[in-house]
Amino acid sequence: MRTLTYREALREGMDEELARDENVVLMGEEVAQYNGAYKVTEGLWKKWGDKRIVDTPISEAGFIGMGIGASMLGVRPVMELMFWSFHSVAFDQLVSNAACVRYMSGGLINCPIVVRGPANGGTAVGATHSHIPEGLFAAFPGLKVVAPATPADAKGLMKAAIRDNDPVFFMENTLLYGTTGPVPDPSEGDFVIPLGVADLKREGKDLSLIAHGRSVIHCLEAAETLQREHGISCDVLDLRTIRPLDQEAIFDSVRKTHRVVLVDESKAFGGVSAMVATLIQDHCFDELDAPIKRVTSIDAPAIYSPYVENEQLPNPRRIVQQVLTIA
């Protein structure tokens, strides 16, 4: 199996969907001639031209609104936000229009858009460019939220997102773009990962680490340390999609290990892990041998200093410390 970067896997997924469906278009600031702010769309403009790869003005409200309108008429726009922090400029379009149109039309009008881009801290770009809004958008019925951790998941979930008839918000991570991993070759068949299916990245028996996005990578590193230094065997469950959420995969892991630590880059108050903790409490309370623990971002705006921001976000050391309180 080939090895691709996360960036290359995203690009290949979009490229294949551009070839499969003439209604797919890519839109966003600098996605065409400049090849994208993070070079995710590199080469696609030269291959597909101006009508399929569209540079937009610096107006998220404008091009997100345009994409939503186009999607109601049969186009399948994939729209890049340079940072997901800029979602607030188009908030009304995203949550009042895209999320609601199918319901408000009695199922007559679909909104098959993908909004993608980086949603993470850890790059020392300050509080206004470091929001992690997957928990926010998961709170709105009608939206689907995806947060892949590996190149293979990035490609397979991107293809599924583009084919979906609902709005899909695709949360990437700038710190993952250059990471590498195995990705099936197109000659092996159409590689699509269904939305709403979690993935057990590592199997263990003593404790469940449940995470999404880059936190999965931290959990895998922490699990290795815990096994080597403390003899603690951990499940590492990658949620992959926040909504729809694979609840049964969560419950299966907790029923096996009876202890759980949830890892989430969101802030603790109202974060994704808060919802997962509630579900475990409701459905698996009698299976728990210890309190549910969480590792989240420390509750403050994103800190500019890279040294301090690294401690603000989940990291393997913080995960190991939390595990040892209940293992």
**Catalytic amino acids?**
60, 129
Question: Closest Cα partner for 182 from 195, 191, 174, 173?
Answer: 191
Question: Closest Cα partner for 130 from 140, 139, 138, 120?
Answer: 120
Which residues share a beta bridge with 294?
A: 262
| Contact residues for 75 (Cβ-Cβ < 8 A; gap 6+) | 23, 25, 67
Element at 254 (helix H, strand E): helix 247-257
Question: Closest Cα partner for 119 from 304, 302, 250?
Answer: 302
Alpha-carbon distance of 205 to 233, in angstroms, equals: 6
| Contact residues for 288 (Cβ-Cβ < 8 A; gap 6+) | 254, 258, 259, 260, 280
Contact by Cβ (8 Å): 239, 211: yes
Look up residue 261 and give its DSSP letter: E
| Contact residues for 248 (Cβ-Cβ < 8 A; gap 6+) | none
Alpha-carbon distance of 157 to 144, in angstroms, equals: 12
Contact by Cβ (8 Å): 294, 321: no
Look up residue 303 and give its DSSP letter: P
Beta strands in 104-155 (DSSP E): 114-118, 144-146
